[in-house]
Amino acid sequence: MALETLADAFYHELCDIYHAEKQLTKALPKMAKHATNPQLAEAFEMHLAETQEQVLRVEAAFADTGKAPKAKKCEAMAGLLEEATSVLEEDAEPGVLDALLICAAQKVEHYEIATYGTLCTWAQQLGYSEAKSLLDSIMAEEEAADAKITKLSRVINKQAKVRA
Ligand SMILES: [Fe+2]
């Protein structure tokens, strides 16, 4: 893929986040299943439903580029999710496991927020108004999801023993 213009950069990153969101729909059910706090499990389930819908909105955002939707392997998300799911294989105390799952989830959200922030700015510059409004709506959901787990962490982190 030749990267000559900002439009090329936009398409490149959109292909990346499209793949990232798809990967996340596979990891969130595992995270929900292993979370011990029911509210945390519920937050992951809710974000799964949101993420499945975001995949469709990202797909729709391709229309402004005039190119077909394409998923390009997002190595960053693959790495973040590998870390998130490797925690599940550790022998962790329930409260500690939940604290680690929150940490992993927030890394994912911040990664997504960084990408959507850039894509929204570029969409504006490129005059991709439909893509801009779709991506703005996803960005708002990611920020809300991040804020929600921050709030949950204030209660859940207290379930973990501070030290031996
Ligand atoms: Fe997302």
Residues 12-43 pLDDT 10s: 999 999 999 999 999 999 999 999 999 999 99
Distance (Å) of CA 163 to CA 93, 119, 141, 156, 159? 12, 42, 35, 16, 12
pLDDT band at 2 (very low <50, low <70, confident <90, very high): confident
Query: How many angstroms is it from 114 CA to the middle of ligand 1?
Result: 11
Q: Among candidates 107, 88, 89, which has minimal Cα distance to 98?
A: 88
Residue 53 pLDDT exceeds 70: yes
Query: How many angstroms is it from 9 CA to the middle of ligand 1?
Result: 20
Distance (Å) of CA 47 to CA 25, 65, 68, 91, 128? 9, 27, 26, 26, 26
Query: How many angstroms is it from 61 CA to the middle of ligand 1?
Result: 14
Residue 155 pLDDT exceeds 90: yes
Query: How many angstroms is it from 162 CA to the middle of ligand 1?
Result: 32
Query: How many angstroms is it from 14 CA to the middle of ligand 1?
Result: 12
First to last CA, the chain: 53
Query: How many angstroms is it from 62 CA to the middle of ligand 1?
Result: 16
Query: How many angstroms is it from 159 CA to the middle of ligand 1?
Result: 28
Query: How many angstroms is it from 94 CA to the middle of ligand 1?
Result: 26
In this predicted structure, what is the pLDDT of residue 114? 98
Q: Which residue has the tokens 């490149």?
A: 12
Report the predicted TM-score, pTM, of the whole model to 2 decimal places.
0.94
DSSP 3-state assignment of 128?
coil
In this predicted structure, what is the pLDDT of residue 70? 96
In this predicted structure, what is the pLDDT of residue 1? 65
Q: How far apart are CA 49 and CA 17, in angstroms?
A: 17
Query: How many angstroms is it from 161 CA to the middle of ligand 1?
Result: 31
Query: How many angstroms is it from 52 CA to the middle of ligand 1?
Result: 8
The mean pLDDT value of the chain amounts to 96
